[in-house]
């Protein structure tokens, strides 16, 4: 489990990450998203339709015990992670769409996440002490909106400060995962060794299956290849640190340890799997990105 100091530190780092996410946004971005909502809507569908269901499905099919099941469902219900923007950047995806999806899903999370967690936990038969109180989740998410808005204001007031905060925020996204590796893995290697294969399968599969389903759903609703790849990455990459934070704020002791297992494993492996996918997407995107740049006005 994480010490109170580590939990506090994690909370502070989450604040900075959200500050950075806010600094990557303008109020105009939201207006654009509402004007042409299709991409973002597809993203939301993937984020809050596919992923929670996938978490639930894997938990049921693999017959996970309640502590792991709730961790997996929680992971599936999370909004998009800010690290997805970095991977989108490197895969030459549509960065604006990725940022927009992360932001909109984070905003919508205040309503969707508590409801989805309650729904799927109940469906999976997780009750009593392992149930995550909806109010807790909503509270954390609302608190995180404050730095997001501050970030947006910062960026408008001073682009140099805004861009600096944005950069620090996205680097911290990677750092938090390193922080988890350094602080959590050495203390729990025994646990890792005794963890059965299907738990690894669930933690890794959530991200990978999410990317595959996200891609095909986007293609099915006629998003172009590049947007589909962006939505795919965005769908698979969840906000792992946020899940860890919610778990540490909700559970203590041995219970916290158990519930934390899937979110931590997910966070560790998503970095590896999305890196691999990014390299693959990048090679596919190279030609299309050039063409998009020079795309011409459609002829009448």
List residues binding other proteins (CB under 8 A).
26, 28-29, 31-32, 35-36, 95-96, 155, 159-160, 162-164, 166-167, 224, 287-300
Q: What's the closest the beta carbon of residue 227 comes to other proteins, in angstroms?
A: 11
Shortest CB 295 distance to other proteins, Å: 5
Smallest gap, in angstroms, from Cβ of residue 124 to other proteins?
39
Task: Write down the least CB distance from residue 163 to other proteins, Å.
Answer: 4
What span, in angstroms and rounded, lies between the C-alpha atoms of 78 and 65?
Answer: 20
CA dist 3 and 230 (Å) reads 36
Residue among 243 and 285 whose Cβ is closer to other proteins: 285
Minimum CB separation of residue 96 from other proteins in Å reads 7
Helices 159-184 + 134-157 axis angle, to 10: 140
Question: Counting beta carbons within 10 angstroms of the beta carbon of residue 7, is it exposed (0 to 12), middle (13 to 18) or buried (19 or more)?
Answer: middle
The partner residues of 80 in beta bridges, in order of sequence, read: 238
Report the residue number, 34 or 216, with the smaller CB distance to other proteins.
34
When the beta carbons of 73 and 154 are compared against other proteins, the nearer one is 154
Query: Which of 128/296 has CB closer to other proteins?
Result: 296
Q: Which is nearer to other proteins, 160 or 194 (CB)?
A: 160
Rounded least distance, CB 164 to other proteins, Å = 6
Question: Hey, is 80 helix, strand or coil?
Answer: strand
Looking at the Cβ atoms of 124 and 234, the one nearer to other proteins is 234
Transcribe 166-218 into DSSP letters: HHHHHHHHHHHHHHHHHHHTGGGHHHHHHS-HHHHHHHHHHHHHHHHHHHHHH
> Which tokens in the block code for residue 259?
């519930």
- Placement of tokens 């109170």 in the chain: 4
């Amino acid at each position: 489990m994480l010490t109170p100091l580590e939990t506090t530190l994690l909370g502070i780092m989450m604040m900075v990450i959200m500050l950075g996410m806010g600094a990557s946004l303008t109020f105009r971005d939201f207006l654009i998203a509402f004007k042409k909502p299709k991409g973002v809507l597809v993203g939301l569908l993937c984020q809050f339709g596919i992923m929670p269901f996938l978490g639930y499905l894997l938990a049921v099919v693999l017959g996970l015990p309640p502590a792991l099941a709730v961790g997996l469902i929680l992971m599936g219900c999370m909004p998009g992670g800010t690290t997805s923007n970095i991977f989108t950047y490197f895969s030459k995806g549509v960065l604006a769409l990725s940022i927009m999806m992360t932001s909109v899903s984070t905003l919508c999370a205040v309503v969707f996440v508590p409801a989805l967690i309650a729904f799927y936990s109940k469906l999976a038969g997780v009750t009593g002490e392992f149930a995550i109180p909806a109010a807790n989740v909503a509270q954390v998410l609302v608190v995180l909106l404050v730095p997001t808005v501050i970030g947006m204001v910062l960026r408008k007031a001073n682009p140099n400060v805004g861009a600096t905060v944005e950069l620090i925020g996205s680097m911290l996204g990677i750092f938090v995962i390193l922080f988890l590796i350094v602080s959590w893995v050495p203390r729990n290697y025994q646990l890792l060794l005794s963890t059965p294969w299907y738990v690894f399968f669930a933690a890794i599969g959530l991200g990978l299956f999410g990317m595959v389903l996200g891609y095909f759903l986007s293609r099915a609703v006629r998003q172009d290849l590049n947007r589909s790849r962006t939505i795919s990455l965005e769908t698979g990459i969840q906000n792992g640190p946020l899940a860890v934070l919610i778990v540490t704020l909700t559970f203590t002791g041995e219970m916290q340890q158990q519930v934390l297992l899937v979110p931590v494993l997910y966070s560790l492996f998503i970095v590896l799997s999305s890196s691999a996918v990014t390299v693959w997407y990048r090679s596919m995107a190279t030609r299309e990105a050039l063409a998009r740049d020079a795309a011409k006005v459609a002829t009448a």
